[in-house]
Structure 1
């Protein structure tokens, strides 16, 4: 039995502003063995970690990330919206997170956010950066854009991919096999023990999201999932 991976959703976002270095560091302190984050690209082609395509909610600027250069992005406060103590937090680059985890055993779930905004060459850039840090064996790339996952497998067969979806797909493990994916990143309510067992027989893992209640965590641990994505990695750590 391999150890269940405790993925901190956008870092320890139950305690810190999501997708900031504070949230990622806190996640490791709280016992996370994985970090889930969202990758997008600035106007000048830098890979950065932010969930929304627009900067309004977490960085206070009414503009699309894709319209801003990295140097200007770094001037924005990406933590003050959460609480004043985090006002110095900025939108991190992918490299900053890779630096943080490279001396650990942490698994990274990099979600490519390329549905609403189509970032040219995002897959290639993410893969090149991961390879530069020699972390291919500790990364899983997920996306709601499944064409993107197919492209990632074409470029980097050695890097795992995970299919993000929102509803109850019929026999999703068959679909995963058809596009060469390794995991199903399913909403927590679309995960049943018999599905987990069938997926596992077909070599496919389940990593459900976003699971914050201990009772639900217990249910999913019992179902045999490979990983759980949570805002509160300490709660999951206490159960494991």
Structure 2
């Protein structure tokens, strides 16, 4: 049976300021075998890792990512909102995360934030960057914008994709085939053992989000999911280690 992927959601977001290098590196220290992050694009076409379209929540300024150059965005503080110990943390670039994980077994889940703001050519730019680092086999691209995912598959059929969705999608494994996706990144309430089995029979795997409770993690493991996205990779690591004993 393949080893379940322990995806650290925005890094170790339960312990460090989300989507920072401090969060990513700590996630790996805690036993994460995958890192999930969010990709947006600056005014001058650089890919940066931040969840929201604006900097208000995590950098204390109402500016939009799309309106700032990379040089401007790198002057903003992405750590102080979480705790003063992390004051000075920067909003990272995609390249920084790929450099951290290149040459390792870490699976990198890149969520394209291409909904509220439709970034032109973001799919092509992301794929070019992944290919530059020769990490196509190490990456999974996910998005709530399934048009974007279909475009990614057209450009790079070798890179895995995962559709993000909430509850109520009928036979999502069948739908995934229509957009040529490889995985279902479902809200955890939309995951049932019989769904996981049906998806597996169709060659589709489940990576549910965002699972922080240990009891719920155990249910997901029992259901047969291939990966779990969590803010607490240490909790999931403890469960997986206990199962191996």
TM-score range normalised by the length of the shorter chain: over 0.9
Write the mapping of 1:1-240 to structure 2, written as runs, cut at 5 A. Answer: 1-240=1-240
CA positional deviation for 1:168: 2.0
Could you say what secondary structure the match of 1:173 adopts?
helix
Quote the Cα distance in structure 1 between the aligned partners of 2:31 and 2:4. Answer: 12
Quote the Cα distance in structure 1 between the aligned partners of 2:142 and 2:159. Answer: 11
TM-score normalised by L of structure 2: 0.97
Quote the Cα distance in structure 2 between the aligned partners of 1:88 and 1:149. Answer: 34
TM-score normalised by L of structure 1: 0.99
CA positional deviation for 1:125: 0.3
CA positional deviation for 1:4: 0.3
Could you say what secondary structure the match of 1:32 adopts?
coil
CA positional deviation for 1:63: 1.1
Could you say what secondary structure the match of 1:40 adopts?
strand
Structure 1 stretches (4+) deviating beyond 2 angstroms?
Answer: none
Could you say what secondary structure the match of 1:88 adopts?
coil
Quote the Cα distance in structure 1 between the aligned partners of 2:120 and 2:65. Answer: 14
Q: How many residues get paired?
A: 240
Could you say what secondary structure the match of 1:27 adopts?
helix
Quote the Cα distance in structure 2 between the aligned partners of 1:63 and 1:77. Answer: 13
CA positional deviation for 1:178: 1.2
Render the CA deviation track for 1:128-179: whole Å, top value 9, x for unaligned.
0000000000100000000000000000000000000112211000000111
